[in-house]
Amino acid sequence: MRPPFLLRAYAGFASLAVPVLQRRLIHKLTDQGVTPARARERTGQATQPRPEGSLIWFHGASVGETLSILPLIDALHAQRPALSVLVTSGTATSAEILARRLPARAIHQFAPLDSPAVLRRFHAQWRPDLAVLIESEIWPNMIRSCADRAVPLVLLNARLSDRSVKRWRQLGAPAWWLLDQFALIIAQTEATAQNLRSLGAARVQVGANLKAAATPAPGDPDLQAAMETALAGRPRWLAASTHTGEDAPLLDAHVALRARHPDLCLILAPRHPDRADEIATLARQRGLTVTRRSAGDAPTGDVYLADTLGEMGTWYRLSPVTFIAGSFGDAGGHNPWEACTGTAILHGPQVANCAADYATLNAAGGARAVTPDTLARTLDNLLTGNAAQPMANAAIACKQAQGDGTADLARSLLSLTKDHAP
């Protein structure tokens, strides 16, 4: 069926906007240390050859979405070892972390812009046998490009809030057309599944919680041992994946806590390490001393700025209490399951991206919601005695109880490819 007029008009607008968008996005990536050649992957210019044989394309926005599929990739390879996997995302952070954590026969490229010309170039290079979009990455031209080439589409770990449902319902025919292109939609919760069905999606089911099934962020035992020695028994807490606007209330809480815990160390790991200078300035304005991981410093200051990538698993394991950021502002929260390594989990109220996950952990006693006003008091309680350990144990138990349906999901995905044989 031909796409509705609004989607055809969007395709034309996207084509006109490409020159401006590609300059902006390429400049942003190169500013973050990405090579110009890799940044041009956003225009569909590949930097790696396509492997022979079947290839499944996964696309997610950034770190959380793409890391959630790692156990699924392992399950796919277990059932079809010769399968190749392409993972696309849009951020420099995700590219750097995936470079370390993707298994063999899995490739990362930056996501193509949602433009017909860019997507033609992308498909000519990669020729995917199946395209899997993760969570809410519903890009009209991306979907249309797959439909035009008879590439089966799956929406995986789909999430759709009641507010989003209202916006989708207002779209009418374009929303129905886009959802109808999916051969399968796997929703995070039954509520999301019902919301999608109410919009006309016909092939919807509730699936395994991939984020909960994922292996926790890996740690570095040597680094952890070195940090334990350097901290010399000092109490500490972790602020993980902070965004602009969140650091100030976290630093304020740390200042208040040091009145009762004078040796307390805050390990602060920004979501984007290029913000490290501004965070260091905020800390010093509050009279706090700062040392930095990127400079090779030991954690001897009041604040240890963990301005590196790929080491979050170590910081989780080093800290009895972790505040997972992205939840005091409008980022929507970050995946809590990767922190279930032996740390008590705190989070702010803004967790729409992971609402069901936090609700499950909170109900199990493994996580707790706080506000900027209650953070210091909650931390004080958890840092006194051994109060954090029961929460940490509850988080681990809750994660283990979620189960793992990745093998069944892998079979479902493989059944949609042209070559059904394992």
Residues with a catalytic annotation lie at: 65
Residue 326 CA to chain centroid, in angstroms?
11
Contacts of residue 393, Cβ cutoff 8 Å, sequence gap at least 6: none
- Helix 247-257, helix 276-285: angle, nearest 10: 40
- 3-state SS, one letter per residue, for 317-379: HHCCEEEECCCCCCCCCCCCHHHCCCCEEEECCCCHHHHHHHHHHHHHCCEEECCCCCHHHHH
Q: How far apart, in whole angstroms, are the C-alpha atoms of residue 47 and residue 192?
A: 37
- Residue 368's nearest CA partner among 390, 385, 384 is 390
Q: Which residues pair with 185 in a beta bridge?
A: 155, 204
Contacts of residue 367, Cβ cutoff 8 Å, sequence gap at least 6: 336, 344, 345, 346, 347, 358, 361, 391, 395
| Beta strands 290-292; 303-305: pairing state | parallel
Q: Which residues pair with 204 in a beta bridge?
A: 185
Q: How far apart, in whole angstroms, are the C-alpha atoms of residue 211 and residue 395?
A: 14
